[in-house]
Amino acid sequence: MIVRRNIPTLLPDPFPFIKRRTWLKILGITLQDLPSKWDLHFDEMLKKASARMYIMRVCKYYGFPIKQLDMLFNTLIMPIITYGIELWEGAYFNKYISQIDKFINRAHRNGYISEKLNIKEISIKRDKKLWDKVIHNKDNALQELLPDKLNRHLRPRGHEFELPLVRTERFKSSFVNRCLFNFV
């Protein structure tokens, strides 16, 4: 019997003319070397949203009614916040959610929106919407990530998929596993 330790794969030697980075921006989402680290993405997202908050301030100064300010906030700022939420929601959620909640509370306190928005509820709605698209569309690219279906004749459930064995919270918080456990 041969017993070996896990040997980490070493990165190749860097070329002197190519600078190695610890982050990568794909489709507007900044991925960092650690899967649970989203600091660069959140800093950039909140910077963009804060810049657009200036538009809200100017519109309020010129006397826009709260209904139009609500619509403007939902059109200009909420897409920045919710873009890719299905991806980064599985990270250390509370660390980043508190930043977003503070931002939304500041918008409410300044009178730019009529009611406080709960980012957790928004993320659950977006998860459910994407989950429904995945399980009802056989051509969806995320179909490959779904586990096998169970062949049982029991009462109707949220889905027919086998629940995976979970050992870590990080594994459970990925999109597919989060939906498998939340929408049973």
Please give the residue range of the domain that contains residue 85: 23-117
Q: How many domains does the chain have?
A: 2
Please indicate, yes or no, whether residues 48 and 112 belong to a single structural domain of this protein. Answer: yes
Please indicate, yes or no, whether residues 111 and 131 belong to a single structural domain of this protein. Answer: no
* Secondary structure string (H, E, C) spanning the chain: CCCCCCCCCCCCCCCCCCCCCCEEEECCEEEECCCCCCHHHHHHHHHHHHHHHHHHHHHHHCCCCHHHHHHHHHHHCHHHHHCCHHHHCCCCHHHHHHHHHHHHHHHHHCCCCCCCCCHHHHHHHHHHHHHHHHHHCCCCHHHHHCCCECCCCCCCCCCCECCCCCCCHHHHCCHHHHHHHHCC
Please indicate, yes or no, whether residues 29 and 106 belong to a single structural domain of this protein. Answer: yes
At residue 92 the predicted structure's pLDDT band, cuts being 50, 70 and 90, is low
pLDDT of residue 110: 94
Please indicate, yes or no, whether residues 128 and 67 belong to a single structural domain of this protein. Answer: no
Q: Please indicate, yes or no, if residue 113 is contained in any of the structural domains.
A: yes
Please indicate, yes or no, whether residues 102 and 63 belong to a single structural domain of this protein. Answer: yes
- Average of pLDDT values for 130-139? 89
126 vs 175: which has the higher pLDDT = 126
Does the pLDDT at position 96 exceed 90?
no
Task: Record the pTM.
Answer: 0.76
Please indicate, yes or no, whether residues 169 and 85 belong to a single structural domain of this protein. Answer: no
pLDDT by residue (tens digit) across 144-160? 888 887 776 666 666 67
